[in-house]
Structure 1
Amino acid sequence: MKKYFIVAFVSAVLFGAWGCKKLSEDTPLELIGQDVIFDKTDSLGVNAEKFLNSIYAGLPNGNNRISNNILDAGTDDALPNAVGDAVQYFSNDGISPSNVVDNVWAKNYANIRKTNIFLANIDVVPLNLKGYKERWKAEAHCLRAMSYFELIKRWGGVPLIGDKIFNAEETINVPRNTYQQCVDYILSELDAAMPYLLTANSSTNGTFAANFYGRFGRGAAMALKSRLLLYAASPLNNPGNDLNKWTSAAAAAKAVMDSVTATKFTYALNSAATTGHYTTTTLAGVAPGATLATYVTNVNKFLSVFTTASNNEIILPYMTANNSTVEAYNDPVGYTRASFSGKTNPTQELVNEYEMTNGKLITETGSGYVATNPYYDRDPRFPATITFDGLYWLNRKVQTYDGGLDRPFGYGRVTKGETRTGYYMRKFMTSNSSGTSYSNYPHIFPIIRYAEILLNYAEAQNEAVGADASVYAAVNAIRTRVGMPTLPAGLTQAQMRDKIRHERRVEFAFEEHRFWDIRRWKIAATVLNGTLHGVQGTILGGVVTYKTVDAANTKFEANKGYLFPIPLNEVISNKSMVQNPNW
């Protein structure tokens, strides 16, 4: 356990997303001491703020972070395009204590240590900006809360170290706290911080709070509390189904919603097509002509959430400089600019989850689904999330039939280098006009967005009291935003549960929700034991026919897989560390 506490006081990420002048033009970062960072003569706190920014750099970023894949490629929603990519170990039982994919143990404890250093030293800085020091401390407490949340959602209860700053030479012998103790600690961190955090209507020295987009504000702290309590109420962590936990989770989400109603926060579902990703020309044939213009607007509205540098739907973003990394890793392979060939391949299971625009699943009577034209008139979030055969991208229509530009070898003939399922990821991709070169665009990963708050509330309230009017209102707001029909009246609690889970799946695809949802709901053993599927397209005489095919076998061991194994080096170095069951 020594490893996760042993970090430099300052790292190369010190100059975070907000970018400031260097601490020194010629001094190596590793030689900078705390007396320089927490300078007793620095009345503006320049160096201390840089240190705080470096902690922000440790927030979770979901874009292609695991063997250049997204985390969802380890679920039933997607596969990596290379069979050996580590992310697939989550769906084929390849994880072990010595091979912990997505091992963020050391990263998050390093962030906790940095936070403790900041809190222990910030008071020596003679900051003359009114209210700043209290706000910075509050932000630090929220960052520490986030680090612990990232740990407990993977490992369950972990060691709580409070404000302790361990020296590099110390032998660490700290036992794990219980999951509930960790939840209570995170709640105390968030609750203590909230009075000092900015709201949407806050101002500092006359500067509107929008200038602090990307930092922990009060709304972000409340949103994290909502997610924390939802996870704590879920079957994985609430096996006795204590309804009080669901009630608390509903109240936490409702508090955010009520603050929006009271205009304390300006969060809202994005309702503007700020970027014209598609036109009625490029989406012609994907929806009926009579409704095509509205359909295009709804697709563009949804895509704009992820390609607009700053918008009111994203409560807590992971901030990066403009870049083209998402496109480089996820372009369909037939484009000459494609650098690393479409890594994330959505499954047929996810594709089938998208309803027809009349609100019926493709298997329901009266849906209007036609197998020979399978991608026609589907939920507008479908072409905004998944690249399928015939979807327009950059300067032509994608070809994922066997022998097509984007699947040149065809189904089952290669183990890497092209789609294994017949699909590529569309979400997060910016559709600039060049098919041969990259341009840098905003890619703000939504750690938490307002749509989640609505669905957190709907899920918790439904479990607490059933499908009341407020549950309908929250889910229907999500659907109405993209022009989908409202839910039918009279749903039972179990039926509404299914609808909410469906909505989370299609709304949050590739945003690192499905991976955790199937664990906290304890359904991973159902959805990840068997076979995942794709599509094979065959072209003859210019007509493509499609059939569902096997893409990968999956395996999930319910007796151990719902929690990650504690990394082996942590078990060896900390004699008080207890491994998770059956690992």
Structure 2
Amino acid sequence: MKKYLTILFFLAGCLVVVSSCRKYETVPVETVTKDYIWDTKDSNGVYASQYLFSIYSSLPDGANRIGRDFLDAGSDDAVTSQTSTAPVTLLATNGITIFNNPDDAWARSYAGIRQATNFLNNFSVVPLKNANEKRSWFGEARVLRAFFYWELVKRYGGVPIIGDSLKTLDDNIEIPRSSFETCVNYIVKECDRAKDSLRDDPVDDGNYGRFTKAGAMALKAHVLLYAASQLYNGGNVGDSLNGYASYDANRWKLAGDAAKAIMDQGVYSLQQEFLDIFIIQRSQEVIYGKTNTLGKPVETLNGPINYSTAPASGNTSPTQELVNAFGMNNGLEINDPGSGYDSTNPYLNRDPRLGYTVLYNGAQWLSTALQTFNGGVNRPGGATVQTQTGYYMRKFMGRFENTTNYEDHYHDWIYFRYAEVLLNYAEAMNEFAGPTADVFTAVESIRQRAGLNPYALDHSISKDSLRTIIRNERHKEFAFEEQRYWDIRRWKIAGKIYNSGLHGISITQTTTGLMYKVAPALNSAFDESKMYFYPIPYNEVVSNAKMRQNPGW
């Protein structure tokens, strides 16, 4: 860490300035100093605002961010379609080391923390005319800093907490890791401090894409749910750096209460059309997401191959494990004898979310029926990058079933949405108090929006049975949203998931119809002795005598 922080502290004196309509004739733009960023005469806060926006730009994008693949292509949701070894595959095959982690967030997150701290320490001198606006900017920087700390903690466990200090090259920067509990408490406290400074929800159009009160509350609820989960709550791998020393059921209650506080606001609700959550802005369900410009990058990277009017790379191949998670539209799982599932017509009458998440053989796309049978137009075989599982990802893409090309639309990356709040609440309170009426209501609202009929559950089921249902609802609802990857870790089921291998479907055309056969897709693996936490990067360990490595690394 010493090496990294030394570089970072030096760079902190060199403020990056983006283009602006504001002119400074006495000092060239390339030599703008901190006195111009924190301008004591600037009642509009032009440069300070740009500095704050630069912190937002440091937030990670989700779509295809791991070497052109989704992070969830390193879970049981998908495999990469790349024909050569892809970085994301390392995450699903015990392939990462202290040198080659494709999801290493250490440097990026500490850079964001440094930026946010710099803002918090210096912005007070800017005489912004609107006092409420100034207070909100402080709150935004604070919750952004908490967000970056969480990016670190969920990967590495406890990390060094820098606080409000801005170290210089002359300071001692060999800082030890704080305990997991200390880090969680710090993040939660920062969210609480930021909450009352932030804008009320829903935010106006002019400030869309900035953290609001509910955004800070959602981060808090998210963190507390993880902290209460099996990996950290007394079942940790390691010591105090990796979780709590013993189990405490009240941690589930804290997580449930944090989610309920958002529900009680009465501001957010489930978007009626599931697809609209991801392709429009101002959805009533989105609490916070990173805004992006209009475009079609998800389609061109992940859409099915061999459409001449809409060329695409087909990067992401959903697994049979993901497809099997989607039950029938009558609310029953496919292995239930009364579900009506037909193995010779496996996609008929399925949970509607399957069709919004996965493109399968026969699905309508770009005005044709998709052909992912062996030798079909969209799975021709050979060396061409194509589906490795018989499926393509459909989620996040626009309504292109009946068009012939892709058109621009929004691809905002959603960090927190109301469906997660409901399922966070349901999971936490089921673990704390069992299957109460409120827990059933939260889960059933998700199933109702999905279009299941009937959507209601049997209210006599056990806590364990409801836990299974809640986890499956999360699997279906949040596929490719960087939830599943972390869920199977915090539930401590990653070993069972990965060590069973990942599969796809092999479809053969015969004279009597199509034959479906489950086929291996990836020999995945998970070393439970070390893979629940990422290794601290090599440079941080060798340059800081106080930096302890995670277990097994």
- TM-score, shorter chain, exceeding 0.5: yes
2:429 corresponds to:
461
Q: Counterparts of 2:391 and 2:27 in 1: how far apart (Å)? A: 49
Match of 2:487 among 487, 499, 517: 517
Aligned: 1:258 with 2:264: yes
The question of 1:133 aligning with 2:134 is answered yes
**Distance in structure 1 (CA, Å) of the matches to 2:303 and 2:512:** 24
The alignment status of 1:545 with 2:515, answered yes or no, reads: yes
**Matched ranges for 1:280-295 at <5 A:** none
**In structure 2, how many angstroms separate the alpha carbons of the residues matched to 1:397 and 1:438?**
16
Structure 1 residues 476 and 434 mapped into 2: Cα distance closer, same or farther (>3 Å)?
closer
Q: What is the CA deviation profile of residues 291-319 of structure 1, one whole-angstrom value per residue up to 9, with x for unaligned ones?
A: xxxxxxxxxx1111100122110101111
Q: Quote the Cα distance in structure 1 between the aligned partners of 2:131 and 2:417.
A: 30
SS of the counterpart of 1:384? Answer: helix
* Residues 480 and 30 of structure 1, relative CA distance in 2, 3 Å threshold: farther
For residue 530 of structure 1, the aligned residue among 477, 494, 500 is 500
Q: Percent identity?
A: 44
Q: For residue 253 of structure 1, what is the amino acid of its counterpart? A: A
Paired letter, 2:484: R
| Contact 2:44–2:128 (8 Å) recurs in 1 | yes
| Structure 2 residue aligned with 1:488 | 458
The aligned counterpart of 1:578 is 548
Counterpart of 1:560, as a letter, is K
Alpha-carbon distance, 1:78 to partner: 0.6
Q: Distance in 2 between matches of 1:525 and 1:447?
A: 26
1:60 partner amino acid = P
2-side partners of 1:92 and 1:23: how far apart?
53
Give the CA deviation at 1:193: 1.3
Assess, with a 3 A threshold, how the Cα gap between structure 1 residues 21 and 321 changes in structure 2: closer, same or farther.
Answer: farther
Following superposition, the deviation at residue 128 of structure 1 comes to 1.1
Aligned: 1:327 with 2:299: yes
What whole-Å deviation, never above 9, does each CA across 1:301-355 have from its counterpart, x for those lacking one? 1111100122110101111111211111101112225655111111001101101
CA shift, 1:525, in A, is 0.5
Out of 25-34 and 129-138, give the one that drifted further: 25-34
Cα displacement (A) at 1:359: 1.1
User: Matches of 1:26 and 1:74 in 2, distance apart?
Assistant: 52
Q: 1:242 aligns to what?
A: 248
1:120 aligned partner? 121
The Cα of 1:479 is off from its aligned counterpart by 0.5
After TM superposition, give the deviation of residue 192 of structure 1 in Å: 1.0
- Residue 356, structure 1, aligned to residue 328, structure 2: yes
- Could you say if the C-alpha distance between residues 515 and 12 of structure 1 is closer, same or farther in structure 2, counting changes exceeding 3 Å? farther
Secondary structure of 1:487 counterpart = coil
Residue 565 (structure 1) aligned with residue 519 (structure 2): no
Whichever residue aligns with residue 407 of structure 2, its letter is: S
**Secondary structure of 2:501's partner?**
strand
1:355/1:362 contact within 8 Å kept: yes
- TM-score, normalization by structure 1: 0.88
Is the CA contact 2:72–2:480 (under 8 Å) kept in the aligned structure 1? yes
Summarize the Cα distance change of 1:34–1:407 in structure 2 as closer, same or farther, 3 Å threshold.
Answer: same
8 Å Cα contact 1:5-1:110 kept in structure 2: no
Q: What is the aligned partner in structure 2 of residue 185 from structure 1?
A: 186
Larger mean CA deviation between 360-369 and 144-153 belongs to: 360-369
CA RMSD of aligned residues (A): 2.2
The answer to whether the Cα contact below 8 Å between 1:385 and 1:427 also exists between their aligned partners in 2 is yes
Counterpart residue number, 2:411: 443
Superposed, 1:380-419 pairs within 5 Å as 380-409=352-381, 414=383, 417-419=385-387
Task: Give deviations 1:99-150, integer Å, cap 9, x for gaps.
Answer: 1121111011000101111111111211111312111111110000000011
Shift of 1:88: 1.0
CA distance in 2, matches of 1:454, 1:26: 55
CA deviation profile, 1:335-388 (whole Å, cap 9, x unmatched): 225655111111001101101111111111011111111111100100000010
Equivalent position amino acid for 1:582 in 2: G
Shift of 1:167: 3.1
Distance 1:252 1:61 in 2: 26
Amino acid at match of 2:281: A
Partner of 2:240: none
- Once the two structures are superposed, residues 521-566 of structure 1 have per-residue CA deviations (whole angstroms, 9 ceiling, x without a partner) of 0000110013211001112348322111111111100000100000
The one-letter amino acid of 1:196's match is: S
For 2:63, the equivalent position in structure 1 comes to 63
Q: Structure 1 CA distance, aligned partners of 2:23 and 2:97?
A: 42
Counterpart-to-counterpart distance in 1, 2:164 and 2:451? 49
Q: Which residue of 2 aligns with 1:497?
A: 467
Letter in 2 for 1:529: N
Shift of 1:86: 0.7
User: Aligned residues, how many?
Assistant: 536
Query: Unaligned regions of 5+ residues in structure 2, if any?
Result: 235-245
Which digits, 9 at most, give the CA deviation of each residue in 1:371-425, with x for residues without a partner?
111111100100000010111112211111111111111xxx55x6011101010
Q: Is the 8 A contact 1:12 1:29 kept in 2?
A: no
- 1:464 to partner: Cα distance: 0.3
**Distance between the aligned counterparts of 1:458 and 1:103, measured in 2?**
31
Does residue 304 of structure 1 match 2:276? yes
Task: Give 1:470's match in structure 2, choosing from 424, 438, 445.
Answer: 438
2:514 is paired with a residue whose SS is strand
The answer on 1:343 being equivalent to 2:315 is yes
Question: Structure 1 212/408 Cα, relative in aligned 2: closer, same or farther at 3 Å?
Answer: same
Q: For 1:554, what is the secondary structure of its paired residue?
A: coil
8 Å CA contact 2:365, 2:401 repeated in 1: no
